Amino acid sequence: MTSRTPPPPRTPVPPPPYVPGHGLLAGRTAVVTAAAGAGIGGATARRLLEEGARVLVSDAHTRRLKETETALATEFGADRVAAQPCDVTDETQVQALYDTAVRLHGRLDVLVHNAGLGGTADLADMTDDQWHRVLDVTLTGTFRCTRAALRHFRDTDHPGVIVNNASVVGWRAQAGQAHYAAAKAGVMALTRCAAVEAAAYGVRVNAVAPSLAMHPHLVKVTSAALLEELTAREAFGRYAEPWEVANVIVLLASDYTSYLTGETVSVSSQRA
C-alpha cells in the first residue's frame, strides 16, 4: 500500500469583512447561554442585537457576565440587554433564566443553548468525574435548557426557535475527546428528537456544529501543537472567527430557515 504524503500547509484565506445587520430578528426576544466573554456565545448575543432582537445573556461566570451586559447595554441600549446568571447543571437556575426572560419581555422567540465544557483525557485514564462533568454541562445542560424552552412554547402556544451548539467532534474521532464527542453527538440526537416533538406546536429546533472557532478560553485549555494541527485540517487554512459561527446561528433563528428543523449544520471548512 502506498503511503499518502500529507498535503503542504495552506496559505490562510483571510476572513471576509464583518457582515452588517439586516433586521432579521427585529422585535424578537432571545436568550443565549454561556454568552459572557469573546467566544461563540458572546458573538451570538452581539449578532442577535445587530439583527434587532432583545437579548438576555446568561453565564455561570458572574463577573464576566456583568462585563458583557455592561458593554452590550452601552452599545445597544439598556432596554434591549439584560443578564441572568445561570449554571446549566442546576435545574432551578435554568428555570429561573426562562422565567426572567418572560417577565422582562413577555415572550420568548429565540433560544441559543451554547453552554458546554471540554477537556482532554485518554479514555483509558479518564475518571468518572471527568466523564460526568463534561456530560452534565454539555449534554444534560442542553437537555435542561431545551426542556424548559419547549415547556414554555407548548404551554403558551407561541412558536419559536431553538438553536443548540454541537461540534464536528460529534461526527469525527479525535483522541482525548471521548467524553466531549459523546456529549456533542448526544446534542445532535437530542436536537433531532426535540424537533419532531416540537413541530406540533410550531417550534423549530436545529443545531450548529463548529469545527474550530478561536477565542481566548480555547487558547488557555488547548496546546499550541493541537491548535496548529486542527487549523491545518481546515480548507481555508485558518480557524473560524466566533462571529462566523454566530452568523449561521442567526440564519437558523431567522425566517429564512422556516422549513428547516431537526438538522445539524456544520460550520466548518474541514474536508470529509
pLDDT in tens, 77-90: 999 999 999 999 99
Q: Has residue 5 got a pLDDT over 90?
A: no
What is the structure's pLDDT at 220?
Answer: 46
Sign of CA dihedral 60, 64, 69, 72: negative
Write down the catalytic residue from 98, 180, 201, 259.
180
pLDDT confidence band for 2 (50 / 70 / 90) = low
Question: What mean pLDDT comes out for the span 166-191?
Answer: 95
Which residues fall within 8 angstroms of residue 132, CB to CB, at 6 or more apart?
A: none
Rg (CA), the chain: 18
Give residue 246's pLDDT band: very low, low, confident or very high (50, 70, 90).
very high
Which percentage of the chain shows pLDDT scores above 70? 88
Mean pLDDT computed over 25-32:
97
Q: CA 215 from chain center: how many Å?
A: 14
Select from 272, 269, 223, 267 the least CA-distant residue to 245: 267
By CB atoms closer than 10 A (0-12, 13-18, 19+), residue 18 is exposed
SS (H, E, C) the chain: CCCCCCCCCCCCCCCCCCCCCCCCCCCCEEEECCCCCCCHHHHHHHHHHHCCCEEEEEECCHHHHHHHHHHHHHHHCCCCEEEEECCCCCHHHHHHHHHHHHHHHCCCCEEEECCCCCCCCCHHHCCHHHHHHHHHHHHHHHHHHHHHHHHHHHHHCCCCEEEEECCHHHCCCCCCCHHHHHHHHHHHHHHHHHHHHHHHHCCEEEEEEECCECCHHHHHHCCHHHHHHHHHCECCCCCECHHHHHHHHHHHHCHHHCCCCCCEEEECCECC
Average pLDDT estimate for 214-222: 52
For the stretch 221-238, pLDDT in tens is: 556 666 676 666 776 778
Contact between 55 and 251 (Cβ < 8 Å): no
Q: What is the spatial distance between Cα 111 and Cα 240, in angstroms, rounded to a whole number?
A: 22
Least confident of 128-132, 167-171, 185-189, 213-217: 213-217
Q: Among all chains, which residue has been given the C-alpha cell 463548529?
A: 210
Show the CA angle centred on residue 97, arms to residues 165 and 84, nearest 5°: 95
For the chain, give the percent of residues with pLDDT over 90: 76
Question: What pLDDT score was predicted for residue 11?
Answer: 77
pLDDT at 6 over 60: no
pLDDT, residue 272, reads 38
Amino acid 232: pLDDT: 67
- Position of cell 438553536? 163
CA distance 180 to 185: 9
* β-bridge mates for residue 270, sequence order: 234
- Which residue did the predictor score with more confidence, 264 or 173? 264
Reported as a pLDDT band with limits 50, 70 and 90, residue 212 is confident
| Lowest-confidence segment of 103-117, 187-201, 210-224 by average pLDDT | 210-224
**Does 180 qualify as catalytic in the annotation?**
yes
Residue 111 and residue 146: Cα distance in Å, rounded? Answer: 8
* pTM for the predicted model, two decimal places: 0.89
Residues near 188 by Cβ (< 8 Å), separated by ≥ 6?
166, 170, 207, 209, 264
Residues 6+ apart with CB under 8 A from 201: 153, 154, 157, 159
Query: Which three cell numbers mark 27?
Result: 422585535
Domains of the chain: 29-266 (3.40.50.720)
The pLDDT, as a whole number, for residue 234 is 73
pLDDT (average), residues 129-151:
97
